[in-house]
C-alpha cells in the first residue's frame, strides 16, 4: 500500500502527555511502526483516559521498567533495530537513563533522534520545567486574544495550542530527516523548542508589530484591514455567532443583496472601500442588529451562496457534525474497534483514494510486549519469561 509511506520505519517513542504523542500519531497514520515505551511503575502511563485514545491511536505499546539495568539494555537492543527515537522528557532525563543522542548513536549510527522540550535543549532556560499552557503565555499567543486577569477569563489560554503545533512541526522535521537519511545515509539530531514552534506560527503578527511598532489589538483580526465588514456578529440563538468577511468591491454588492439591499448599504459613504473603512463601526452595529434575527447556519449558507465569505462560530459538537468535515472523513473510528469506541481523527489530508491514514485503536499498556520482545527482538520464551518474572516488563 503506497499510502503507508513510512512503512518499514520503526519509531521508539518515549514521548508522553501531548506534543510528542501528537507527532508520533501522525507518523503512525503514515504507516510507521510506532512503539511506545511505557511502564506501569509511573502512574501517568497507566492513565488511558482523557485524550489518550485520540493521541495514541495507530501506535503499539510495550512496557519496560527503565529503573532496571535489564530494561535499559532491552531499550538499546530495540533502538539498534529502529530508525527514529522521539522523546519529550525534561532536559537531562534521557542522559541519566543512558539514552542521550551520542549514546544511542553509538548503537545505531544513522539514528534520527528527536527531542522536543519547552524552550530547547540549549540556552539559559534549557533546564526550566515548562508546560504548553504556560508557553502559550510566554510565547505571546495569549496576548493576541485577551488581557491577563486572575480568573483567566477570555484570555486565550484554551484550546491547547503550543502542544499540538509542536507535534506538527516535529512530524515534518522527522519526515525531512528520513528523506535526508535516504539520500545521505546519515542520521540527524533534532532539538525542537515548543516556545519557538508557537512563535513561528505567529510570524506574521510578530513581524507586523516589529515593522510598525504597533501592538495588535487583542481579539481583533489585523490581517484583513482592507475587508469591511470583517468580524463576528451575534445570531438569533443564545451565544450563537457568525463570522463574516467582505473582501472586495463585488463582494459588497453581494453582501448588500443578502441583506435585502437596505438603504444604508447604498449611502454615499458606503460606496467605496475607503468609505466603508471609515464607517466600519457603523456597519458593524447595523449588521449586528440584522444578523441577530437569524440562525447562524441559515446566514452561513445564504452568504456563501451569494459568494460572501461567512462561517458560524461552531462549538465542537457542531464541528463534528459539520457535513464538509464529515465528507472528508476527518473524524472516524479506528479500523479494529467495535462500535462503542469513540471517533478519533485520521490523517488531515486526502489523496485520490479515500485513504485517511493507517488508523487503529490506541493500545493498552504493554499490549504489544510479545510483538516487540519476542517478535522484533527475537527473545526466546525462556528469556521473555525470565524478564517478565523479574519485573523488567512492569
Partner 1 sequence: MALKLLNGLKVVELGDSVAVAFCGKLLAGLGADVLVIEAPGGSPLRRLPPYYQDIPGADRSVLHNWLCAEKRSITLDIEQARGHAILLELLRGRDALIRGSGKGLGVADIKTANPKLSVITISPFGSEGPYATYRGNDLIHFAMSGFSYYLSSPVGDPAASPPKQNPGYQVGLVAGLRAASATLWAIVAAAKKGAGVMVDLSELEAFTYLMYQYTAHIANGTLPANRERVPGAAITIVGGLVWCLPCSDGWVMVSPREDHQFRHWAEVIGETEWASQPEFSTLKLREHNAWVIYERSAAWTKVRKKNFVFLAAQEKKVACFPVSSMNDLPELEQLKHRGFFAEIDHPVIKGLRYPGLPAKIDNRDTPPTRRAPLLGEHTLEICAELGISSEEIKMLWQQGVI
- Binding to partner 1 (CB under 8 A) within 138-177 occurs at 138-140, 142-146, 148-161, 163-166, 168-169, 171-173, 175-177
**What is the C-alpha to C-alpha distance for residues 44 and 51, in angstroms, rounded to an integer?**
13
Number of shown-chain residues binding partner 1 (CB under 8 A) = 149
Between 223 and 272, name the residue whose CB sits nearer to partner 1.
223
Between 84 and 330, name the residue whose CB sits nearer to partner 1.
330
In the complex, minimum distance from the CB of residue 387 to partner 1, in angstroms, rounded to a whole number: 31
Between 71 and 216, name the residue whose CB sits nearer to partner 1.
216
Q: Considering only residues 101-120, where is the footprint of partner 1 by CB under 8 A?
A: 119-120
- CB atoms closer than 10 angstroms to residue 263: 7
**What is the C-alpha to C-alpha distance for residues 87 and 78, in angstroms, rounded to an integer?**
15
**What is the C-alpha to C-alpha distance for residues 234 and 317, in angstroms, rounded to an integer?**
19
Between 280 and 374, name the residue whose CB sits nearer to partner 1.
280
Q: Hey, what's the cell of 346?
A: 485520521
In the complex, minimum distance from the CB of residue 383 to partner 1, in angstroms, rounded to a whole number: 36
Q: Considering only residues 246-305, where is the footprint of partner 1 by CB under 8 A?
A: 247, 304
Q: What is the dihedral of CA 220, 221, 227, 228, to 10 degrees?
A: -10
In the complex, minimum distance from the CB of residue 275 to partner 1, in angstroms, rounded to a whole number: 19
| Residue 20 host element (H or E) | helix 19-29
CB neighbour list of residue 85: distance below 8 Å, 6 or more residues apart: 11, 12, 14, 79, 99, 104, 111, 112, 113, 114
* 22 CB-contact burial (10 Å; exposed 0-12 / middle 13-18 / buried 19+): buried
Site string for partner 1, 351-370 (x = CB under 8 A): xx------------------
Cα–Cα nearest to 25, from 38, 39, 11: 11
**What is the C-alpha to C-alpha distance for residues 115 and 100, in angstroms, rounded to an integer?**
10
Q: Considering only residues 117-136, where is the footprint of partner 1 by CB under 8 A?
A: 119-126, 128-135
Between 99 and 300, name the residue whose CB sits nearer to partner 1.
300
In the complex, minimum distance from the CB of residue 289 to partner 1, in angstroms, rounded to a whole number: 15
Q: Hey, what's the cell of 324?
A: 464538509
In the complex, minimum distance from the CB of residue 263 to partner 1, in angstroms, rounded to a whole number: 26
Q: Is 325 in the site for partner 1 (CB under 8 A)?
A: yes
Between 46 and 73, name the residue whose CB sits nearer to partner 1.
46
Contact between 58 and 360 (Cβ < 8 Å): yes
Contact between 117 and 130 (Cβ < 8 Å): yes
> Rg of the chain over CA atoms, in angstroms?
26
In the complex, minimum distance from the CB of residue 380 to partner 1, in angstroms, rounded to a whole number: 35
Q: Is 335 in the site for partner 1 (CB under 8 A)?
A: no
Between 67 and 168, name the residue whose CB sits nearer to partner 1.
168
List C-alpha distances in Å: 40 to 48, 88, 95, 305: 12, 19, 22, 55
Exactly one of 230, 276, 368, 387 binds partner 1 (CB under 8 A); that residue is 230
* 60 CB-contact burial (10 Å; exposed 0-12 / middle 13-18 / buried 19+): buried
Q: Is 2 in the site for partner 1 (CB under 8 A)?
A: yes
Q: Considering only residues 183-222, where is the footprint of partner 1 by CB under 8 A?
A: 183-184, 186, 188-193, 195-197, 199-216, 219-222
> Candidates 91-99, 268-276, 312-320, 369-377 — which segment interacts with partner 1 by CB under 8 A?
312-320
Between 46 and 172, name the residue whose CB sits nearer to partner 1.
172
Q: Is 228 in the site for partner 1 (CB under 8 A)?
A: no
Amino acid at each position: 500500500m503506497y499510502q503507508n509511506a513510512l512503512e518499514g520505519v520503526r519509531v521508539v517513542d518515549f514521548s508522553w502527555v501531548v506534543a510528542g504523542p501528537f507527532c508520533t500519531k501522525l507518523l503512525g497514520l503514515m504507516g510507521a511502526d510506532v512503539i511506545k515505551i511505557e511502564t506501569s511503575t509511573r502512574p501517568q502511563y497507566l492513565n488511558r483516559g482523557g485524550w489518550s485514545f485520540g493521541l495514541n491511536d495507530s501506535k503499539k505499546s510495550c512496557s519496560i521498567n527503565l529503573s532496571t539495568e535489564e530494561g535499559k539494555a532491552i531499550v538499546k537492543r530495540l533502538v539498534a533495530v529502529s530508525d527514529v527515537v522521539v522523546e519529550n522528557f525534561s532536559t537531562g532525563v534521557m542522559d541519566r537513563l543512558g539514552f542521550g543522542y551520542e549514546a544511542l548513536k553509538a548503537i545505531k549510527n544513522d539514528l534520527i533522534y528527536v527531542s522536543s522540550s519547552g524552550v530547547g535543549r540549549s540556552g539559559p532556560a534549557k533546564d526550566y520545567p515548562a508546560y504548553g499552557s504556560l508557553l502559550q503565555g510566554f510565547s505571546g499567543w495569549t496576548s493576541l486574544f485577551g488581557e491577563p486577569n486572575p480568573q483567566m477569563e477570555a484570555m486565550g489560554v484554551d484550546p491547547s495550542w503550543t502542544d499540538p503545533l509542536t507535534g506538527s512541526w516535529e512530524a515534518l522535521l522527522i519526515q525531512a530527516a528520513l528523506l535526508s537519511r535516504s539520500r545521505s545515509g546519515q542520521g540527524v539530531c533534532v532539538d525542537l523548542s515548543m516556545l519557538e514552534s508557537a512563535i513561528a506560527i505567529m510570524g506574521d503578527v510578530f513581524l507586523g508589530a516589529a515593522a510598525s511598532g504597533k501592538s495588535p489589538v487583542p481579539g481583533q483580526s489585523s490581517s484583513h484591514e482592507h475587508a469591511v465588514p470583517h468580524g463576528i456578529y451575534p445570531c438569533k440563538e443564545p451565544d450563537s455567532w457568525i463570522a463574516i468577511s467582505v473582501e472586495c468591491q463585488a463582494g459588497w454588492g453581494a453582501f448588500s443583496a443578502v441583506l435585502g439591499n437596505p438603504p444604508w448599504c447604498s449611502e454615499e459613504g458606503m460606496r467605496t472601500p475607503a468609505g466603508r473603512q471609515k464607517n466600519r463601526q457603523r456597519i458593524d452595529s447595523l449588521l449586528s442588529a440584522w444578523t441577530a434575527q437569524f440562525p447562524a447556519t441559515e446566514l452561513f449558507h445564504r452568504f456563501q451562496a451569494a459568494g460572501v465569505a461567512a462561517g458560524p462560530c461552531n462549538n465542537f459538537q457542531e464541528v463534528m457534525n459539520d457535513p464538509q468535515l464529515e465528507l472528508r472523513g476527518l473524524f472516524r473510528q479506528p479500523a479494529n474497534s467495535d462500535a462503542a469506541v469513540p471517533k478519533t481523527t485520521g490523517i488531515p489530508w486526502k489523496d485520490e483514494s479515500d485513504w485517511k491514514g493507517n488508523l487503529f485503536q490506541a493500545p493498552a499498556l504493554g499490549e504489544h510486549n510479545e510483538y516487540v520482545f519476542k517478535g522484533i527482538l527475537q527473545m526466546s520464551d525462556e528469556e521473555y519469561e525470565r524478564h517478565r518474572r523479574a519485573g523488567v516488563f512492569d
